[in-house]
Structure 1
């Protein structure tokens, strides 16, 4: 008989960006036994490694296939991609690795959270990365190798020149969180291949005897003794299993998954739980609330000159800017995309897209379980563009994008705007177009809000309020969304969570 293994000290639920970081960091201590549970597979489609193929991944087995309810703004549901499998969304996203601008973290303490400013997070940002730019304040010894596209697409460089020509600052390091302006953005692409959290963090740790990884494991509910979380019930291979934790359980299932697991365990607002047939175990009204995301409107252009085939992530250059002179920080992102995205006006065979997204959206929505069944789809309602200030921010970005498209730097490409098109010139028609024909930028956050007030779900130490032995450490804890793509911040949250767990 083989000797029985000791119980796990920490059970991590969710093998995405945060889960991979925690599994790797915690098992650096040989005396800490860790179990990582992931609902998806360890064997992902070959296209995952091929950067230009990422738009196809959300509809593959590497994605959950979530959609929102019909949105008030558009009258239609919106696809909300999230990763399923080791690496999570870092295995299917567009590989942009950028810290939010430092001003975007200033409001994180509004609900009482302490120790989560940009300066507090900076050591953890640095710990994640080896930045090839060599810019001040960037990491030099982290697991992730990040840098601009090599080589960049010609049409995107022309867009960058157009931005500078029309009066915008050429940033040196747009990914570092300190600059505004336009520049090539850092990407999680190494030697022409995607580098996910599973690649950078988890794979080097898989040989450690104190780490166990179970894939195909869907978390059903949390198990408690009194108010202490002692384990997780999960389904795998058609059977129900129990994993116990001598120390703590950490939810890293993302903004959608972590909140759903709490709700299925009876933790949340009674108005959400009882209609789903779940008894209230611990009332926390903030669970599933505060859901928000970056919506993105697109200006699609046809060009007479052939656009080179995209070899990287298609969106290699972006800009951050303020929609008004008195904005507290950059609140609009413009990203140049080397393919003509599908649009409602006319198909485009050759061209490019300029995406515009409000980076500090005011619109807030909710998430709730539809049933106690862990395999039932959730009810997701981000309520995109229900706040008028989000529409105004996009209108500002559209005006900027159009000036760039008309610049001399792009004149040689023979640019023609197809969607919304040259006839859409007044504010109402542009606002209507943005509200109707937007998509998710795939950055949902906030459903397990961090703070110390009544609507907070976790405290400043990421502990679920009112319970013991249970933390959440992923994008769901962000009180407000970062003013850029969110994945780099998720890595930093997880790095800090590892320190918090080690010191507890």
Structure 2
């Protein structure tokens, strides 16, 4: 027997948990949340410093890019959380909203209602900040935000940043982003505070909320121009769920365009080429993929400082289990600095992520001696990639092309960032602590050598976005109220909806998008897409 709900949320990740929890606050609204993964009650999730141990496991969708033409043909691993909480259960917990310039730029691109001033209340609504208050912060929301207790190595690197000219800042989510600060993180008493814990866990006590895990979504079903059902498999069993109200896609920057395309919503030529009947021709679905390039610079530590080099010692696990304190409570990226590689830029284009350990190849590579790292996240990229399905089979992951560093100016900016990191390492605060430069190494100095090093070693910051962006039917997948063009009753709530990627870590903006989507859905039957949005090609019973 087919079950019917008022709303169906596809994807129990960073935004999906928010949407499901907020919609279920209405006791008269029957809500179904579908998540392909399982629970988040795991040591590798709860212990903050263990986040990278999830990569390549059953908790990871484990996407790999196609060979990147601008990176000497390298394929990059893109970990994506496959569990309740999604990437909020797998990330480094950095709470960064981005720059006001990002949101004001969205409005200029047609995203009415998304200015910095207009989205601020939705950031505040989610936030329970233990250290900051005032007009920019919330103190009674579900999501715990606090400042890390930094390792002594991190403190010294921050002092060196100040000596190098960075302004010391307590809050990069307030009036100004530029400067150096200790990281605000989503933790509560030394434990990760993901959206599954913050939003979904309290909501699961409500009788009107149903959560189904192990749910692999094949497609959204359309009838007479409306999304009215979802086809799902649970192992070998296949089920159909119907929705009387809106269906919300929160499957992430890869999963959301995949599901749209498998549902016949996307670039018509591509869908036909992979054998999917076309329902709505939306050329932008799966296009405009943006990601922050990430470049590490590492130095050995000298003297008695260890940083987090011995974090795998059993004594640290024992301490964390007993007290929820110590090295395992670190989010690793304990301090951040934002700056402009070119003073003429309207906002920062580079983010330093300061870590008191050697980090390379997603945390898998080891170094024989203690070290510290400065990661350079280039937060104003211009390159665009794509996410395109290979077939209608939901187990067949899409082709992901980042097309990273397509613009040579991106390489130039990262090279400038490397020199800035080297300036920090040369400051008096690090004179007794900073040893040999490991990467790129003192021999990589010429602009040609640095450029080749960047293309040969650059990774990403785990921030894919914009693949189902807010925009017109020609250049976007949804309108400013997150409604998919040409389809009634279907919305998008995740990082894929961003018109352009934000300047900073994408977790906090994704939660904000979830909050806004829930509000749009609750607006009710008067909230309808314009009839001219998209091109209706066919119908599915």
TM-score where L is the length of structure 1: 0.96
What is the distance in 2 between the residues matched to 1:495 and 1:170?
31
Q: 2:499 maps to which residue?
A: 479
Q: Does the CA-based 8 Å contact 2:40-2:85 persist in structure 1?
A: no
Moved more, 197-206 or 425-434: 425-434
Q: Does the CA-based 8 Å contact 1:52-1:313 persist in structure 2?
A: yes
Q: 2:12 maps to which residue?
A: 15
* CA positional deviation for 1:453: 4.9
Describe the superposition over 1:342-375 as per-residue Cα deviations: whole angstroms up to 9, x where unpaired: 3799944310111112101001011100111110
Q: Report how many aligned residue pairs link the two structures.
A: 500
Describe the superposition over 1:1-37 as per-residue Cα deviations: whole angstroms up to 9, x where unpaired: xxx9983100000000111001111111100110000
In structure 2, which of residues 412, 416, 419 is the aligned counterpart of residue 396 of structure 1?
416
Q: 1:119 maps to which residue?
A: 117
Aligned-partner SS, 1:290? coil
* CA positional deviation for 1:228: 0.3
> In the alignment, is residue 371 of structure 1 matched against residue 369 of structure 2?
no
In structure 2, which of residues 438, 447, 452 is the aligned counterpart of residue 427 of structure 1?
447
Q: 2:44 maps to which residue?
A: 47
CA gap 1:270/1:348 in 2 versus in 1, 3 angstroms: farther
Aligned-partner SS, 2:518? helix
For 1:226-241, list aligned pairs within 5 A: 226-241=224-239
Moved more, 359-368 or 53-62: 53-62
- Where structure 1 has 5 or more consecutive residues not aligned to the other structure, the ranges are none
What is the distance in 2 between the residues matched to 1:80 and 1:303?
30
For 1:31-46, list aligned pairs within 5 A: 31-42=28-39, 44-46=41-43
Aligned-partner SS, 2:88? helix
Q: Does the CA-based 8 Å contact 2:36-2:214 persist in structure 1?
A: yes
* CA positional deviation for 1:44: 4.8
Q: 1:89 maps to which residue?
A: 87
Q: Does the CA-based 8 Å contact 2:301-2:369 persist in structure 1?
A: no
RMSD across aligned C-alpha pairs, in angstroms?
A: 1.7
Q: Does the CA-based 8 Å contact 2:473-2:485 persist in structure 1?
A: no
Q: 1:464 maps to which residue?
A: 484
> In the alignment, is residue 139 of structure 1 matched against residue 157 of structure 2?
no
Describe the superposition over 1:444-500 as per-residue Cα deviations: whole angstroms up to 9, x where unpaired: 000001023511110011000111010111100001111000000000111111111
Q: 2:178 maps to which residue?
A: 180
Q: Does the CA-based 8 Å contact 1:73-1:436 persist in structure 2?
A: no
Aligned-partner SS, 1:247? coil
CA gap 1:260/1:177 in 2 versus in 1, 3 angstroms: farther
Q: Does the CA-based 8 Å contact 1:266-1:273 persist in structure 2?
A: yes
In structure 2, which of residues 336, 345, 349 is the aligned counterpart of residue 318 of structure 1?
336
* CA positional deviation for 1:177: 6.4
Describe the superposition over 1:52-82 as per-residue Cα deviations: whole angstroms up to 9, x where unpaired: 1111112222111111111112221001111
What is the distance in 2 between the residues matched to 1:25 and 1:204?
11
Describe the superposition over 1:259-306 as per-residue Cα deviations: whole angstroms up to 9, x where unpaired: 000000111002321221112111000000000101101101111133
TM-score where L is the length of structure 2: 0.90
* CA positional deviation for 1:106: 2.4
Q: 2:187 maps to which residue?
A: 189
What is the distance in 2 between the residues matched to 1:479 and 1:236?
33
What is the distance in 1 between the residues matched to 2:68 and 2:23?
41
CA gap 1:489/1:123 in 2 versus in 1, 3 angstroms: same
Q: 1:248 maps to which residue?
A: 246
* CA positional deviation for 1:147: 1.2
Q: Does the CA-based 8 Å contact 1:345-1:420 persist in structure 2?
A: no
What is the distance in 1 between the residues matched to 2:17 and 2:63?
22
What is the distance in 1 between the residues matched to 2:353 and 2:518?
33
Aligned-partner SS, 1:471? strand
Q: Does the CA-based 8 Å contact 2:425-2:434 persist in structure 1?
A: no
In structure 2, which of residues 55, 59, 62 is the aligned counterpart of residue 58 of structure 1?
55
CA gap 1:202/1:345 in 2 versus in 1, 3 angstroms: closer
* CA positional deviation for 1:439: 1.3
Q: Does the CA-based 8 Å contact 2:307-2:371 persist in structure 1?
A: no
CA gap 1:177/1:270 in 2 versus in 1, 3 angstroms: farther
